[in-house]
């Protein structure tokens, strides 16, 4: 007779595949890595690009062009900078709630990217000029044009957010659930126990 694992051991529930502690740890690790990388690249941009014109890379496919953005993409909402920290705090709270039942490693990566990106830009909003909660975000990457005429100038936090959201959409479309299970269409009742476990 096999003894059940003790409560709180971190073992996954039957059918979930991954312990919640492991998934949450991955989420936090991805978020911290994304946040630190964003802060470092912003500091480098401020140190190396202040007072300089755009720097062309890859034959003009990418430009390093330092800007400060009070709004969202294409400076949308630049007159209401205080709104963006509130939205970000709401996103962080939602991710914290999602983490309570998170057992999927792909979802951990997705949510970690979103969390790290959100915190990176929130840090700018809170601590950078011109003041707390109305700070301007440091952007430095422009595609195909030195001044963001083709695509908005962005930073690593923005990239993390976009990648995290795209991964989340892919996971939803492929039926991968945050608790580690997969949503599938109803199948006939002639499945073997092994098939049922695999489907779960």
Phi and psi of 143, rounded to 5°?
Answer: -100, 130
Distance CA 177, CA 5 (A): 24
In the numeric block, which tokens belong to residue 66? 């330092």
Distance CA 118, CA 66 (A): 20
Task: Single out the catalytic residue among 13, 139, 179, 190.
Answer: 139
Q: Is 158 a catalytic residue?
A: yes
Distance CA 28, CA 58 (A): 33
- Using alpha carbons, select from 169, 140, 128, 176 the residue that is nearest to residue 54: 140
Location of structure tokens 């299970």: 181
Distance CA 140, CA 42 (A): 8
In the numeric block, which tokens belong to residue 162? 């976009």
Task: Single out the catalytic residue among 124, 158, 179, 190.
Answer: 158
Q: Is 38 a catalytic residue?
A: no
- What positions carry a catalytic annotation? 139, 158
């Amino acid at each position: 007779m096999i003894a059940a694992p003790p409560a709180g051991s971190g073992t996954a529930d039957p059918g979930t595949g991954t312990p919640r502690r492991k998934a949450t740890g991955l989420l936090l690790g991805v978020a911290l890595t994304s946040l630190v990388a964003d802060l470092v690249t912003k500091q480098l941009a401020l140190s190396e690009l202040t007072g300089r014109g755009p720097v062309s890379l890859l034959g003009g496919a990418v430009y390093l062009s330092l800007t400060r953005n009070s709004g969202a993409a294409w400076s949308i909402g630049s007159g209401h900078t205080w709104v963006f920290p509130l939205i970000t705090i709401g996103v962080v709270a939602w991710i914290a709630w999602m983490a309570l039942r998170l057992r999927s490693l792909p979802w951990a990566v997705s949510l970690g990217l979103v969390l790290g990106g959100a915190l990176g830009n929130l840090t700018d909003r809170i601590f950078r000029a011109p003041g707390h909660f109305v700070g301007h975000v440091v952007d430095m990457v422009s595609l195909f044009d030195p001044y963001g005429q083709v695509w908005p100038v962005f930073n690593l936090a923005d990239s993390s957010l976009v990648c995290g959201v795209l991964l989340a959409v892919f996971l939803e479309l492929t039926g991968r659930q945050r608790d580690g299970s997969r949503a599938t269409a109803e199948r006939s009742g002639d499945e073997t126990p092994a098939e049922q476990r695999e489907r779960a």
